[in-house]
Chain A
Amino acid sequence: MQLKDKDTSQLVEGLIRNDRKSYDELYGNYSSKLYGIALHITQKQDIAEDVLQETFIKIYNNVHRFDGSKGTFFSWILNICRNGAIDKIRYGKESRKIQFDSLNVIISTDTNPEIKRANEELWEVLDKLDDEHKEILKLSYYYGFTHPEIAEKLNLPLGSVKSKIRIALRELRKIYP
């Protein structure tokens, strides 16, 4: 369960003080979400574990720089995790080229039941969006493709890709107001 704003600011203060209790709270509240998103992006348990570990180290090194006026604490740590995971699949030794065609189905190369369940949950939510927006959101948000890359692969003008992402995010905001 996500923490309320007041609890979050207390948590951040504790983290800045290097208070172990706050770090335990951070791990207890957010590790499964962060690990889940790392798994969604990397699709590999060992890489997702590295991403999770590096995310917590980055939080430890940078928590004093978190600025609550620029966004929520969760979105801040989420971006650290997400960017770390995307870096791994884009530039790491485990890098792989994500095939666009494969994104229409649940990635089944990994038989880990946890990953399968996480994928299914993600797909269930994405299925509430129409196909066009679903595809764009997956590519840009979960798989980290840049807008020009999506435009090239889907053979769409860049402006059209940007506008579809905007609409997709707005649709998502109707599901998660």
Chain B
Amino acid sequence: MIDVKKYIESGILDEYAAGIISENEKKEVEALADIYPEIAKELNSINMSLAAFALVGGVEPPDKMEEQIWAEILNLDSNVINLNTKSNSKVSSPKKINKLGQYSAVATLVIMIFVSIGWAINFKNKFDTSQKELSNLSEQNQKLNDNNSELEKLNHSYYLKDSIFSNPNSKLIQLNGVKKKSPTSKAYVIWDKSTADVYIDILSLPQNPPDKQYQLWAISQIGRQISVGLFDMPENNEIIPIGKTNESVQFFVSLEKKGGAKIPTLKEKYVYGNVDR
């Protein structure tokens, strides 16, 4: 049992409303607001004041912005049928919307099946190749008894593939090319949620210039863009360990200056894919 009055007077609710407290403190405030109606009421009151404060000085954005935003959203998710129709055009009847929804669901299912089959074939090919090459490499290693570092590196890569694909905690996210930038590009992100490890398997991406690197980003639940790691186009068909992330609703890859950027350059976004909700 906490002293609600003291808690409110501590100022933490103001800090919560201003969005400047740590993630743990945020969770604590939310949990206590669920338990104590006085805290919830106070929080709401602060939010209302800040919202009123924010209304001051509203500025109409340039006309181009509205269409630009919809284009970007549709680019993110071209399967969103409802968003394709502007509301001031003729509105479909509810029945038609439902039917469209059904078509959309069927279409999505079919796409998912093809994607799964495609990935399964890709996986099997890679797995078979891995197994064969692993076996070859082992034989060569035995014969030559050579500590060739290049071979060791390859060997490690094949073991890595094997262990990633056979891991039940691995989640596979397909990243498709951004239409305006690189429509034929494609990659898979493999995310092991139990360890937070993230790998990328590139099927098609342009070669990065020497002064630039690709950067993989995760979008967190609250919309923050988190850098997962950097990579160059691999010489071999290998899966690259990128880094770790504990949360993501979407992954995307952008081309940034060598060494990476603190925030992504959206105009240089090449591939993206949503994590299943």
Contact = CB atoms under 8 A, between A and B. Distances in A.
A82 B19 CA distance: 9
Nearest to A35: B61
A173 B65 CA distance: 33
A147 B249 CA distance: 30
9 contacts: A20-B82, A31-B61, A32-B60, A35-B58, A37-B54, A61-B219, A62-B221, A65-B222, A125-B53
Interface in B63-115: 65-66, 68-70, 72-73, 76, 80, 82-88, 91
A97 interface: no
B51 to A, nearest CB: 5
Given A56-B69, A146-B20, A166-B14, A69 B34 contact: yes
A32 B65 CA distance: 11
Interface of B: 9, 11, 14-15, 17-20, 30, 33-34, 40, 43-62, 65-66, 68-70, 72-73, 76, 80, 82-88, 91, 219, 221-224, 249-250, 261-263, 266, 274, 277
A61 B33 contact: no
A70 B54 contact: no
Given A24-B86, A62-B222, A72-B48, 10 more contacts: A36-B58, A36-B59, A60-B73, A71-B17, A74-B51, A83-B19, A91-B263, A140-B18, A172-B49, A173-B49
Contacts of B33: 69-70
Nearest to B80: A18
B65 A75 contact: no
Given A69-B40, A176-B49, A80 B57 contact: no
Contacts of A163: 11
A118 interface: yes
A35 to B, nearest CB: 4
Contacts, number: 183
Contacts of B56: 36, 121-122, 124-125
A104 interface: no
A92 interface: yes
A114 interface: yes
Contacts of A165: 11, 14-15, 18
A170 B51 CA distance: 14
B19 A162 contact: no
B256 to A, nearest CB: 10
Nearest to A61: B249
Contacts of A19: 82
A140 B16 CA distance: 12
A13 B64 CA distance: 27
A44 to B, nearest CB: 13
Interface in A74-116: 74-75, 78-80, 82-84, 87-88, 91-93, 114-115
B276 to A, nearest CB: 13
B61 A40 contact: no
A45 B64 CA distance: 13
Nearest to A174: B49
Contact of A60 (B76, B261, B277): B76
Contacts of A53: 65, 68-69, 72, 266
Interface string A138-165: 0011001011000000000000001101
Q: Which of A60, A83, A115 has the most CB of B within 10 A?
A: A60
Given A56-B73, A62-B249, A72-B47, A18 B83 contact: yes
Q: Which of B11, B50, B222 has the most CB of A within 10 A?
A: B50
A163 to B, nearest CB: 7
A15 to B, nearest CB: 10
Contacts of A177: 49
A146 B84 CA distance: 41
Nearest to B263: A92
B83 A20 contact: yes
Contact of B51 (A17, A56, A75, A124): A75
B181 to A, nearest CB: 16
Contacts of A141: 18, 50, 53
